[in-house]
């Protein structure tokens, strides 16, 4: 489907995903008094719609999911049928699934922060725990097992919400009569539990193993159980051998390693027995680590990374907002004119729009067009004959305006070109003035016209005048001849000198009277030039070309200053200075990785729009900063990284009171956060009947975590 389509009481706006059994559309539903909202419509694939097994599975999914109402489970609104199509209407989540986020981090190297990964895992575990313990109206447990916990089925909204979706192969006690056939595997191989691939009876602990797999991959950025083929993948799952995430991501502390490895235990009896226990341990870890994360932090991360996708979706929503359904179920778009209405579709003619499409049009507003004079006309005069070789094509010749409306200039002498002011917010005419019509024609104030009237250029003394002077001097006497030769030998009345001051000063291409000048860096000396007009052209990459007629007077020595204007589409140059120096850091500008060799010289960035700079360095807080450069502007962004606060896990036998830098901080076992990583800390443990224990702890390099396990002596 390439365009919005009516579907019963919904409009299917665009297809957002397709799987093995169904396809999902973003849709629009309607209520009374103009009420409308976005929903997701899951529709069984056409070639499966006649297969009773798939239809039954589809209906079972709806029966399971419609009973679930939790902040971390996507809400199902209804199961319906339109014509021959079964569908499920559910909550629409504007955001990304974990698979898309994994692909983003692979492409950019911008790994999901460890704390955010743990937060997402805790939210999924909360929703999963709710589904596992859900009871029916009779109070009996429904016995729901999801059986397909995978990155595709965890959605992260742009607002920071975490949603578990797709109970398409979920197994519940209410459907226990429809058992999976022997030898048939459902789900994605790399996210199954060992007991699931061996055909053993399943319980909720199978979902816990799958969620542990997903969380391990979020922390490491690598697939956990993935072989060269399906058989090898299944063998890896069966063996259930998993490295601690910290082996691939040094930011992961030992406490989080232990949580993940417990969820991935091969034997179900060694795992968390409930998803709620899993969620509690993740929440406790986040609290003890001082992260204290909420959906606000996740929202910030999502909106920073996917700003372009968010803007694109908001733009579509503005178009979709104009769509509604008639009482007959036809698609209706309210628009000011046909051009506005058809802008939503690729087709260019009304007969190519969806069947039943209507337009509501308003009368077009009249457009006011005025023609500007190039020169003032104080008194009516007979129109002179025009020299066609000197007359430029009229900018209004293709507008089919009536002849009497054209007020053409009577002069044929072309005016000096005007460089348009591209910083002005309005359109500009061909003559460099405000153009409210946007078609190259503008109004001009009579006073402005009077001040820009083209006058004949002043000429210096030429050879003809000198000959006349010579004849006069000859008549006056031989003394005049000496004056003439002295005057002509110095070249005074025949030439003048011109120098250029151009900004920006480098990378210039100067053309004088059609010939290239060797100078490319300002100031430029054009040398001795004959008197009279000369055509000057200055070009520079990323800037508007300046063409100007300069008049050289006899004996003149003048300097001309010209400021080149950057083109509106020319990029800016962004240079980076990152402190403290040293250490490896990942830097992206506008989502593109920038190697350290280019930090100083700079990188080109689009002008006129915010560009995000992201700096990630181990041992320092992630830094995000937005800059906006003007066309052609060069700017140095000074970025100072703040060290990540250090933490220390302290345990002892027996339990003891802990002092750090002379201050009592609690009793073991405890984690101390917000320590300054740049200084050495004095640690003292005291327990009655035991010798005090003292040591010094420092955080070397970029490490921000230390662990002490102390056995006190009596």
Residues 243 and 261 in one domain: yes
Closest by CA position to 616, among listed 645, 638, 583: 583
Q: Do 41 and 67 share a structural domain?
A: yes
Residue 586 tokens read as: 């990942």
Question: How far is it, in rounded angstroms, from Cα 302 to Cα 315?
Answer: 18
Q: For residue 228, what are the CA distances in angstroms to 20, 213, 233?
A: 22, 18, 7
User: Which pLDDT score is estimated for 429?
Assistant: 36
Whether pLDDT at 152 is above 60: yes
Residue 620 DSSP one-character state: B
518 φ/ψ sector (left φ>0, alpha ψ -120 to 50, else beta) = alpha
**Separation of alpha carbons 414 and 33, rounded Å:** 63
User: Is residue 68 within 8 Å of residue 135, measured between CB atoms?
Assistant: no
Count of residues in the chain: 714
Q: In what order do the strands lie in the sheet with 524-530?
A: 524-530, 495-503, 557-563
Spatial separation of the C-alpha atoms in residues 532 and 554, rounded to whole Å: 9
Kindly provide the residue ranges of all beta strands, DSSP E only, lying in 319-474, ordered along the sequence: 323-325, 331-334, 358-360
Pairing of strands 705-711, 646-653: parallel
In the structure encoding, which two tokens stand for residue 98, read together? Answer: 């974990």
pTM assigned to the model: 0.49
Q: Is residue 464 part of a domain?
A: no
Q: Distance of CA 618 to CAs 119, 257, 598, 621, 654, Å? A: 20, 18, 20, 8, 35
Element (H, E) at 88: strand 85-91
The residue among 579, 569, 565, 583 whose CA lies nearest residue 636 is 579
Question: Is the same domain home to 55 and 199?
Answer: no
Q: What backbone torsions phi and psi does residue 436 show, to the nearest 5 degrees?
A: -65, -20
| Cα torsion through 421, 423, 425, 426, rounded to 10 | 10
pLDDT at position 120: 95
Inform me whether the pLDDT recorded for 322 exceeds 90. no
As a whole number, mean pLDDT of residues 668-682 equals 85
Residue 339 lies in a domain: no
Domain interval for residue 508? 476-563
- Residues 133, 112 share a domain: yes
Residue 353 in this model has a pLDDT that exceeds 50: no
Q: What are φ and ψ of residue 603, in 5° steps?
A: -130, 150
Average pLDDT over residues 130-155: 88
Is pLDDT above 70 for 360? Answer: no
Q: Which of 274-278, 359-363, 461-465, 526-530 has the lowest mean pLDDT?
A: 359-363
State whether 163 and 230 are in the same domain: yes
Segment 530-544 shows an average pLDDT of 88
Whether residues 286 and 195 share a domain: the answer is yes
pLDDT tens digits for range 11-67: 899 898 887 778 899 998 887 666 788 999 998 887 777 778 778 877 877 787 788
Angle formed at CA 128 by CA 121 and CA 80, multiple of 5 degrees: 120
Asked if 17 and 129 count as a contact pair (C-beta separation under 8 A), the reply is no
- Are the C-beta atoms of 226 and 190 separated by less than 8 Å? yes
* pLDDT number for residue 340: 52
* pLDDT band of 227, cuts 50, 70, 90: confident
Q: Are 257 and 117 in contact (CB under 8 A)?
A: no
* Residues 688-708, mean pLDDT to the nearest whole number: 84
Residues 547 and 431 in one domain: no
Q: Quote the CA–CA distance of 337 and 371 in Å, as a whole number.
A: 27
CA distance 216 to 259: 10
The domain boundary residue, chosen from 65, 91, 117: 91
Across 478-495, average pLDDT: 48
CATH code of the domain in which 488 resides: 2.60.40.1120
pLDDT band of 149, cuts 50, 70, 90: very high
pLDDT at 310: 92
Q: Which of 32, 38, 24 is nearest to 323 (CA)?
A: 38
Residue 463 domain-assigned?
no
Residue 320 pLDDT > 50: yes
The lowest-confidence range among 96-110, 349-363, 439-453, 647-661 is 439-453
Share of the chain above pLDDT 70, in %: 73
Q: Supply φ then ψ for residue 709, to 5 degrees.
A: -120, 110
Q: Where do we find the tokens 């929202």?
A: 299
| Mean pLDDT score, 647-674 | 87
Average confidence (pLDDT) over 566-578: 86
Q: Is 148 part of the annotated catalytic residue set?
A: yes
Answer whether 196's CB lies under 8 Å from 206's CB.
yes
Residue 7: which H helix or E strand, with range? strand 5-7
Is there a domain that residue 134 lies in?
A: yes
Structural contact between residues 415 and 392, judged by C-beta atoms closer than 8 angstroms: no
CATH number at residue 674: 2.60.40
pLDDT, tens digit (0-9, with 9 covering 90-100), for 62-108: 787 788 889 999 988 888 888 888 888 999 999 999 999 999 888 88
Q: What does the pLDDT read at residue 702?
A: 64
Does any domain span residue 290?
A: yes
Active-site position among 51, 85, 138, 148:
148
Domain membership of residue 612 (yes or no) is yes
CB 562 within 8 A of CB 540: no
Q: What is the pLDDT of residue 644?
A: 78
- Among the candidates 91, 111, 144, a domain finishes at 91
For the chain, the domain total comes to 6
Domain endpoint, select from 273, 299, 325: 299
- Quote the mean pLDDT of the chain: 76
Whether 38 and 139 share a structural domain: no
CB atoms within 10 A of CB 65: 23
- The tokens describing 574, both together, are 């962004």
What is the CATH number for 49? 3.30.200.20
Q: Specify if 209 maps to a domain.
A: yes
Please tell me whether residues 202 and 82 are part of one structural domain. Answer: no
Query: Are residues 523 and 582 located together in one domain of the fold?
Result: no
Mean pLDDT of 115-138: 91
Give how far Cα 153 sits from Cα of 124, 143, 184, 191, 223, Å: 10, 20, 21, 11, 16
Looking at residue 364, its pLDDT comes to 41
Q: What 3-state class would DSSP assign to 387? A: coil
pLDDT of residue 172: 53
Q: What would the pLDDT profile of 608-648 be if each residue is shown by its tens digit?
A: 888 999 998 877 878 888 899 888 888 999 999 888 788 88
What are 384-403's pLDDT values in tens digits? Answer: 443 433 333 333 333 333 33
Residues 132 and 183 in one domain: yes
Of the ranges 339-343, 442-446, 593-597, 683-687, which is most confident? 683-687
pLDDT computed for residue 482 by the predictor: 43
- Domain-embedded: residue 24: yes
* Residue appearing with tokens 């979902």: 207
User: How far, in Å, CA of 383 to CA of 453, rounded?
Assistant: 18
Residues paired with 561 in a beta bridge: 501
Pair 76, 121 in one domain? no
Residue 665 has pLDDT above 80, yes or no: yes
The yes-or-no verdict on residue 575 having pLDDT over 90 is yes
Tens digits of residue pLDDT in 580-604: 887 778 899 988 899 989 998 999 9
């Amino acid at each position: 489907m390439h365009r919005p389509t009516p579907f019963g009481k919904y409009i299917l706006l665009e297809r957002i995903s397709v799987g093995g059994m169904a396809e999902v559309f973003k849709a629009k539903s309607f209520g009374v008094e103009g009420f409308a909202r976005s929903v997701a419509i899951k529709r069984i694939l056409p070639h499966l719609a006649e297969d009773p097994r798939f239809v039954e599975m589809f209906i079972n999914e709806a029966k399971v999911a419609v009973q679930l109402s939790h902040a971390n489970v996507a809400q199902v609104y209804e199961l319906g049928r339109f014509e021959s199509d079964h569908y499920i209407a559910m909550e629409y989540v504007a955001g990304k699934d974990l698979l898309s986020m994994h692909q983003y981090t692979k492409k950019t190297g911008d790994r999901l922060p460890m704390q955010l990964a743990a937060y997402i895992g805790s939210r999924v575990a909360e929703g999963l725990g709710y589904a596992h313990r859900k009871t029916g109206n009779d109070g009996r447990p429904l016995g729901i097992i999801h059986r397909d916990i995978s990155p595709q089925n965890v959605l992260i909204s742009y607002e920071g919400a975490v949603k578990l979706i797709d109970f398409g192969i979920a197994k519940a006690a209410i459907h226990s009569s429809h058992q999976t056939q022997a030898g048939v595997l459902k789900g994605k191989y790399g996210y199954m539990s060992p007991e699931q691939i061996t055909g053993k009876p399943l319980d909720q602990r199978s979902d816990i193993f799958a969620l542990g797999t997903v969380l391990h991959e979020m922390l490491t950025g690598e697939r956990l159980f993935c072989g060269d083929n399906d058989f090898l993948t299944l063998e890896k799952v069966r063996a259930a051998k998993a490295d601690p995430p910290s082996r691939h991501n040094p930011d992961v502390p030992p406490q989080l390693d232990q949580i993940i490895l417990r969820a991935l235990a091969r034997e179900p009896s060694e795992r968390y027995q409930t998803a709620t226990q899993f969620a509690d341990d993740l929440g406790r870890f986040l609290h003890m680590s001082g992260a204290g994360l909420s959906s606000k932090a996740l929202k910030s991360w999502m909106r920073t990374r996917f700003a372009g996708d968010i803007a694109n979706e908001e733009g579509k929503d503005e178009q979709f907002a104009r769509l509604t359904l008639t009482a007959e179920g036809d698609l209706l778009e309210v628009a000011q004119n046909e051009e506005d209405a058809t802008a939503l579709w690729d087709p260019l003619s009304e007969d190519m729009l969806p069947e039943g499409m209507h337009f509501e049009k308003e009368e077009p507003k009249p457009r006011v067009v005025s023609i500007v004079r190039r020169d003032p006309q104080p008194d009516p005069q007979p129109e002179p004959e025009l020299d066609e070789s000197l007359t430029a094509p009229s900018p209004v010749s293709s507008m089919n305006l009536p002849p009497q409306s054209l007020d053409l200039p009577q002069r044929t002498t072309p005016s000096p070109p005007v460089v348009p002011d591209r910083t002005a917010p309005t359109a500009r005419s061909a003559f460099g003035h405000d153009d409210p019509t946007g078609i190259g024609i503008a109004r001009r104030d009579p006073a402005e016209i009077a001040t820009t009237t083209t006058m004949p250029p002043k000429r210096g003394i030429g050879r003809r005048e000198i000959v006349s002077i010579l004849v006069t001097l000859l008549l006056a006497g031989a003394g005049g001849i000496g004056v003439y030769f002295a005057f002509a030998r110095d070249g005074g009345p025949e030439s003048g000198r011109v120098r250029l001051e151009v900004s920006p000063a480098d990378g210039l291409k100067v053309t004088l009277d059609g010939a290239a000048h060797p100078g490319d860096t300002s100031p430029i000396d054009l040398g001795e030039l004959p008197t009279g007009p000369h055509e000057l052209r200055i070009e520079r990459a990323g800037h508007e070309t300046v063409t100007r007629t300069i008049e050289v007077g006899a004996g003149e020595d003048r300097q001309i200053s010209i400021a080149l204007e950057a083109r509106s589409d020319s990029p800016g140059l962004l240079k980076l200075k990152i402190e403290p120096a040293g250490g490896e850091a990942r830097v992206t500008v506008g989502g593109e990785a920038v190697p350290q060799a280019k930090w100083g010289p700079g990188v080109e960035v689009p002008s006129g729009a915010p560009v995000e700079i992201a700096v990630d360095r181990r041992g320092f807080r992630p830094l995000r900063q937005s800059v906006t450069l003007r066309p052609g502007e060069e700017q140095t962004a000074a970025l100072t990284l703040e060290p990540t606060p250090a933490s220390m896990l302290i345990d002892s036998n027996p339990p003891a009171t802990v002092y750090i830098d002379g201050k009592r901080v609690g009793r073991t076992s405890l984690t101390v956060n917000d320590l300054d990583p740049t200084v050495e800390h004095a640690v003292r443990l005291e327990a009655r009947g035991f010798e005090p224990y003292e040591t010094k702890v420092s955080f070397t390099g970029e490490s921000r975590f230390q662990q002490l396990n102390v056995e006190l002596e009596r």
